[in-house]
Structure 1
Amino acid sequence: MVGANLKSETIKLMDKRSAMEAEMNAIIEQLCQPGGPGLSGNLVDSEGFPRADIDIPVVRAQRHRLAELKNDHQEITEKINVNIQVLHSAKLTSTPKDSGVETNQNASVATAGASASLQNLVLRDSSSANDVDMISSMPFAMVDEIADASPAAEDGLQLGDQIVKFGNVKAGDSLLQRLASEAQANQGHPLPVIIMRQGALLNLSLTPRTWQGRGLLGCHFRIM
């Protein structure tokens, strides 16, 4: 019961973090639109006068809100990480639910050391193009079950990983069916997958295959 309660709490925290990320990305998109001030651009012109082409109070409020969300996101991420460590150490696994897709994954992390939190990713001095590129990389599903000794566990996929792209599958309709079909169509073949882990985008190579457990991937996806 304690494990179930901890898992439920962790999922709620992940949902809350996803809402924070959505709000942060919406603010970034507004600040970085063509002609906008960006995340840290000057609010005065070359002569030192307030820029007339932007609403300075609104920009300041947006930047302040972004900073608040950054701090809140860091705190909630740390709490999620603690909960996940407890769940892993207790080896709390259960049968995947009908609402998701059982998967089995051969994941090799192609982006080594990419463990920066989201606030380091989005609150950087960068061009608008980079910020907008991140906005287009929103996850659509989350890994909320991984069986012990499954290919997913052995190959590096972790509880709480958020799926941005699974082979040719991106956000859209009929996601569960498309995820299952993609895994089946690529059985025994490497499948490129992009995930978001602690706010950092990682490239994985997963190989759906049979094993002693259920499914081709040994994990469960929950649509966000």
Structure 2
Amino acid sequence: MQQENRFDILSGGVEDPNVNGTLKDELIRLPELSITEVFDLKAKLETELDGLFDKLNLQGADLNSNLVTPEGFPRSDVDVLQVRLLRRSINMLRNDLRAVISRTQELMATQFKKMAAKTHKIQDDNVLDYRIPFALVTEVVPGSPSHRAGLLEGDKIVKFGSINAGNNQSLAAIGPVVKKSENAQISIRMLRNGSLQNLTLTPSRNWAGPGLLGCRLVHV
């Protein structure tokens, strides 16, 4: 059994000459349309309705005009059949517009939920990046790049370039970042005496000791 069409514009299977045929196809596909396409369809329906009302006005009538004389005869100054067809088209299109608006609201609600979830994830990532330490500085060699940058024993690293508590791989991720950043600044965020502080460290071999940093880090 064929499912009854949910849109008034096609109800009864009667073609409506007053309505754009393309709109009929789009209305049938409404559940499949993206939010942008639904907004576009809404605008088309509103434009179509404006056009139908203009046609109705040209007939010298509106949705509530009486189409018979006081004696009960059809008015001779208007095309009664055309007015009735236009009224029918307008009423059907109004119902279709309500369905489209309802679908728009559904899609917007879904979109807002996705945006809220994404915002929540970003906020969680920020907390992860800037609040949770993943490494403890246990030694800083005098004269080393770390010493020149101002790093102190006891500092707790919460961000080392792009490395944070969520991606440090038990500090294994730091080595490649250091090598890639030789003679280039790395932004570091750390906890010192309970306070968040920032500094920049430039890995370099231009010092008396071995390595590029001159400090020892342990995973926490």
TM-score under structure 1 length normalisation = 0.39
Larger relative contact order (Cα-Cα within 8 Å, sequence gap ≥ 6): 1
Query: Which is greater in Rg?
Result: 2
By percentage of residues, which structure has more helix? Answer: 2
TM-score under structure 2 length normalisation = 0.39
